[in-house]
Amino acid sequence: MPKDIMRIAAVGDLHCTKSAQGAYQPLFANIGEQADVLCLCGDLTDYGTPEEAQILVKELLPAVKIPIVAVLGNHDFETGQQDEVIKILRGAGIHVLDGESVEIDGVGFAGTKGYIGGFGRHTLGAWGENGIKNIVREAQDEVLKLESALARLRTDHRVVLLHYAPIAATVVGEPESIFPFLGTSRLEEPLLRHPLTVVFHGHAHRGSLEGKTISNIPVYNVAMPLLRRERPEMPPYRVVELAMSASALNQANEPIAGAPNTAPNHDGQLTGFQPTGASSTGIQPTASAADSGTAPSPAAANTAATGSNGNRTGPTNSGAQRLEPRSAIIPSN
């Protein structure tokens, strides 16, 4: 029997290291209990090695029995072995999207890594040296991949996975000088040409939790370091509920089981609802430095991986957290 609601969990920037065995299973077990699909938004590994990918798979498979959809991030390209990383992940049954799409229980997922280039009137143009033109060309190639993936979907709900940000709002909190390295508004262009439900990305460790496209589609930054810092009382992943039937909409304002009375019922404002405790803009800027793409220290604790900006990105005591990081239910288009 079809479900009334599909619960999608999303997280990025795991930065799994070769010493991370055993660190992620409590987190993944929690996700497996709370969600119907898991989306992984890049930087799955720390240096992009096959060994790290194999450890990640060993962490995932015993704990997560739900479908997994993923895109790679810049860290997964570091050693030039991204094809082997993809092979390992796909061999474990993970849907790794690089300009592809997949349909799961009536919901369409489209994804690609994305690229750099800046936002709005500060977007890098294809002018001058070949190196600059090559950056713009690669960004445009990623846009074409996303466009192609979305064009193949015919589902009512369409979910987009990226690593780089498609809008500036979700990188606010990072130093403005590195905004061009955190994403590009070129990635927003295909998002405006297709009916969408929600967009997930990572990469900006000190950005903002959420924003919206010009067409009012919610965009969530699900970088694990950001989620852990901004919502320390919850496990570091985002859950969005999609209404798969009309009756599911009646559940949109029900309180979350187990949530404290002092906390809002929902994380942010989504299509058609004004959740309790939501801010007027839905944007929660933070401060300080960012994931600049520089290589992290090879030292890593047994209980946590270290991200490129020095944040400890592995889960700590996530199995003890039972609050549900839920957002409002989104109706179909």
Beta strand residue intervals within the chain, DSSP E? 5-11, 37-41, 68-71, 95-96, 100-104, 107-111, 157-161, 198-201, 210-212, 218-221, 238-243, 326-330
Q: What is the mean pLDDT of residues 159-165?
A: 98
Residue 6, pLDDT score: 96
Summarised one tens digit per residue, pLDDT across range 187-214 is 999 999 999 999 999 999 999 999 999 9
pLDDT score of 166 more than 70: yes
Domains and CATH numbers, the chain: 5-330 (3.60.21.10)
pLDDT score of 320 more than 90: no
Q: Is 176 exposed, middle or buried (0-12, 13-18, 19+ CB in 10 A)?
A: exposed
State the pTM of this model: 0.78
> Could you tell me which residue, 330 or 169, shows the higher pLDDT?
169
Instruction: Report the alpha-carbon distance of residue 41 to residue 52 in Å, rounded.
Output: 16
